[in-house]
Structures are given as structure tokens and as C-alpha cells.
Amino acid sequence: MAAFRVGFIGTGKNPDKPSRMGYAMAYRHAPGYQALGDRCEIVACADIVQDHADAFAKRFDVPRTYLDYSEMLAKEDLDIVSVCTWMHLHEQMVVDCAQAGVRAVHCEKPMALTWGGAKRMARVCEENGVQLTFNHMRRFGKPYRTAKALLDAGEIGDLVRMGFGDGNLYDSGTHHVDMCGYFNDQTPAEWAIAQIDYSTESLVFGSHNENVSFALWKYENGVYGECITGPGTAGKDLIGAYDRLVGTDGVIEVGPYGKGMPILRIKRKGSTEWESVDCEGENCHGPGYHERVIAQLVQCLQDGTAPETCAANALQSAEIMFACYESVRRRALIRMPLDIEDNPLEEMVASGALNPARP
Ligand SMILES: NC(=O)c1ccc[n+]([C@@H]2O[C@H](COP(=O)([O-])OP(=O)(O)OC[C@H]3O[C@@H](n4cnc5c(N)ncnc54)[C@H](O)[C@@H]3O)[C@@H](O)[C@H]2O)c1
């Protein structure tokens, strides 16, 4: 079989100094394709900054660079495109890939800047028979896989509640809400309710993210999701862990807060003691997660099966996040399906309903 022709949109800045102004995620995707040997060949990359494209092409031995991704799509007959730009650009880039005849698009998270945009990307890809995935890579980490296996084995009884504590609901929250979907067997959500504080502007990869949030949502199977986000101690004190699963008879924590804590621990059915679970050196972010995501999406493209990072799963988490922000706007509990098109947080800032001060 001829190798899949892979292209990149957005190559990244500062690959060796990641920050919330740029993680150069393309540098995390590329080794995933290269690890697949002759099944994939990175043939081109596009970036509006020539230096970024040149540095990436040099690092990964990419033969052609473009300043205009549309030109790359028109000339390169690509099978797979990794979209590694900031979120306000994802929607149109994914749509353009799908309409240019690309067979699979692997896009960075969060899906899109708006709920309407997220739905449109998924719809256009479906209409064009394009496999669309998002880089929710934690699904492939040992701490998470092991937590799910323990849950499925009944070690904490039946799942009652899932929670997370982290920086924000949208940019980093997308990973956690996605993991809730994974733990809860992709059961759709029924409603969401939330409140936020947004007094100081916080732009992450160019998009607004609240300072503090408290959110609760319910799934159709009766399981609850909850989160506390922000820089303070509330998430740490009240949720107690990066991700927490509460069952009828026990608790599992991925990334419990505190010095010297294990990456995964469980209080099993019938026990009052915490037990550490070995995850062979993997933490909440890796190593190896991006490579596993890409190995699976390439395999699925060959097999015609659905990757775990598929758009349908990402839509479920995006709907919950946008419903939380819509709850803030309407001051109400929001029932699914979510009947808006925009991003309520962005809109509340634009309209002046929220007026965060420049930091
Ligand atoms: N999966 C994760 O854990 C994770 C971690 C960090 C960031 N991210 C996400 O990755 C995405 C990309 O972030 P990053 O940190 O790689 O950004 P980055 O700033 O490092 O790279 C973005 C690149 O896109 C280029 N670009 C901008 N407009 C373009 C256009 N029109 N055409 C082509 N290239 C264009 C920029 O020049 C830059 O090189 C964001 O959505 C972010 O949320 C994901």
C-alpha cells in the first residue's frame, strides 16, 4: 500500500519553550506519523510565518512548505491533514480540508470557537466521508485506561459522579469533559448549570477563558459531572484531584493533588484505605499519548472503523462546555440539545455583559 500523504496546517512557534502563547503542537503530532514508518509520509506543511514552516520542515524532513494552506490543499493531494492552529481557525480549516478531498483530518482541541462551528465541522466532514478526529489524547494514557478498567470491573461499584479541578472550562476543560464522556461510555448529557467569574481577561491561545467556574451537569444515565476551575484552591480542595470518579462503593482519583501523591489511586469497594496503582511512569499528559492517538486514527482510516477521538465524542464534550457558558448567560439550567450557535462567553465579552479588566 502507498503511504498516506500527510500535510500540516500550522507548524508552531517555540517548540522547545511551550507556553499558553504556543505549544507548537505540530511538533507533537509529527513524531506520531513518523513512528508509523512507511505507512505515512509527511509531504508538506503550511504556515503563515515562513520561519515557522521552515523550522518544522527542517526538523521533520518535510520536502515542501507553503504560506497559504489552500494552495497546499490544491497541489498536494493529501490523505491526512493535522490542523495545529489556535481554535478560532479550526472550523474553516477543517471545512476546507474536507471540501478539498482530504480523507482524514486530525485537529487540535478544543473543537471550535463556537458551538455552531463545532457542529458545522462535523457535518461537513460527515457529508464528505472524511474521518475527523480531535487531539483528546488522554484517552490513550495508562492512568486513564487503568481507571476505566477498574471502573468497568466494578471496583468502586456503580459510577455516580465524575469531577475535575483545573485551570478553566474551555481550553483545558475540554480534555477533562472528554474524559468524563470516556468514563461514562459516551452517554449524552441531559442538562448543565454553571456560574463563572470573569473579572480579569484571560486569553488562552487567543480565546477567552473564565477565571473561576463552578459547573454541574447530568447525563442521561443519571451520572453527574462537576468541575471547579481557576487558579485558587477550590478545585484542589473540593474536587481533590485532576479527575475524580465517585462510585456507589469507592473512589478513583487520577492525579490527586498534594506532594508525593501517586498518579492514580483507588479506594476500593469494601476498603477505607487508598491504594496506589502503578502506571509505569506515565503522567496525565504522556509520554506517548499523541503517538497512540495518531496510530489509531491511521489504523481506523485503513479499516473504516471509528477512532475514539472521533468528532461524535468531541461534540458531546463541546456541547457540555458551551451549555455551561450558556447557563451563565441565561442564568438558568440548560437542557440539551443546546439551541445556540455562538460561544456565550465570547459573546458576553463582545456585548459588554462581561467586562474583564486587562491584566
Ligand atoms: N492537545 C493538547 O494537550 C494541547 C496542548 C497545547 C495546545 N493545544 C492546542 O493546540 C492548538 C494549537 O496551539 P499551538 O500551541 O500549537 O499554537 P502555536 O502558536 O505554537 O502554533 C500555531 C501555528 O499556526 C500558525 N498559523 C496561524 N494562522 C495560520 C494560518 N492561517 N495558516 C497556517 N498557519 C497559521 C502560526 O504561525 C503558528 O506557527 C490550540 O488549539 C491549542 O488549544 C493542545
| Residues 271, 249 share a domain | yes
Q: Note the pLDDT of residue 232.
A: 67
- In whole angstroms, what is the distance from residue 114 CA to residue 322 CA? 8
Closest CA to 147 of 236, 223, 241, 225: 241
Low-confidence ranges of the chain (pLDDT < 50): none
Q: Is residue 347 a contact partner of residue 329, using CB atoms and an 8 Å limit?
A: yes
> For residue 68, which atom of ligand 1 is closest to its CA?
32
| Residues 145, 213 share a domain | yes
User: Ligand 1 centroid to 251 CA: how many Å?
Assistant: 36
User: Ligand 1 centroid to 198 CA: how many Å?
Assistant: 24
> For residue 13, which atom of ligand 1 is closest to its CA?
20
| Residues 80, 142 share a domain | no
What is the domain count for the chain? 2
- In whole angstroms, what is the distance from residue 269 CA to residue 156 CA? 5
> For residue 87, which atom of ligand 1 is closest to its CA?
41
| Residues 294, 354 share a domain | no
User: Ligand 1 centroid to 85 CA: how many Å?
Assistant: 3
Q: Is residue 237 a contact partner of residue 251, using CB atoms and an 8 Å limit?
A: no
| Residues 226, 132 share a domain | no
> For residue 175, which atom of ligand 1 is closest to its CA?
3
| Residues 220, 205 share a domain | yes
Ligand 1 pocket, mutate which of 108, 137, 139 (most atoms under 8 A from CB): 108
| Residues 276, 148 share a domain | yes
Q: Which amino acid residue places its CA nearest to atom 25 of ligand 1?
A: 10
| Residues 328, 232 share a domain | yes
Q: Note the pLDDT of residue 234.
A: 64
What's the grid cell of residue 214? 463552578
The three state secondary structure string of 61-130 is CCCEEECCHHHHHHHHCCCEEEECCCHHHHHHHHHHHHHCCCCEEEECCCCCCCHHHHHHHHHHHHHCCC
| Residues 76, 10 share a domain | yes
Which residue ranges have their beta carbon within 6 Å of ligand 1? 9-13, 22-25, 46-49, 52, 69, 84-87, 89, 108-109, 135, 137, 171, 205
Q: Is residue 279 a contact partner of residue 146, using CB atoms and an 8 Å limit?
A: yes
Helix, strand, coil percentages (3-state) for the chain, rounded to 5, are 35, 25, 40
**CATH code for the domain of 174:** 3.30.360.10
Q: Which domain holds residue 34?
A: 4-137+287-307
Residue 205: partners with Cβ closer than 8 Å, 6 or more residues away: 20, 21, 22, 86, 87, 171
Q: Which amino acid residue places its CA nearest to atom 26 of ligand 1?
A: 10
- One-letter amino acid at 302 equals Q
Number of CB atoms found within 10 A of residue 77's CB? 13
Ligand 1 pocket, mutate which of 111, 172, 205, 293 (most atoms under 8 A from CB): 205
What pLDDT digit, counting tens, does each position of 24-54 carry?
Answer: 999 999 999 999 999 999 999 999 999 999 9
User: Ligand 1 centroid to 25 CA: how many Å?
Assistant: 6
Taken in order 117, 119, 123, 129, the sign of the CA dihedral is positive
Q: Note the pLDDT of residue 233.
A: 61
Q: Note the pLDDT of residue 237.
A: 77
Q: Note the pLDDT of residue 1.
A: 63
Q: Note the pLDDT of residue 236.
A: 77
| Residues 244, 97 share a domain | no
| Residues 325, 235 share a domain | yes
Q: Note the pLDDT of residue 359.
A: 87
| Residues 78, 57 share a domain | yes
**CATH code for the domain of 17:** 3.40.50.720
Ligand 1 pocket, mutate which of 8, 13, 14, 23 (most atoms under 8 A from CB): 23
Residue 352: partners with Cβ closer than 8 Å, 6 or more residues away: none
Q: Which amino acid residue places its CA nearest to atom 40 of ligand 1?
A: 86
DSSP H helices, the chain, are 26-34, 50-60, 69-76, 87-99, 115-127, 142-152, 173-183, 234, 289-303, 311-330, 344-351
Q: Note the pLDDT of residue 231.
A: 79
- In whole angstroms, what is the distance from residue 334 CA to residue 160 CA? 21
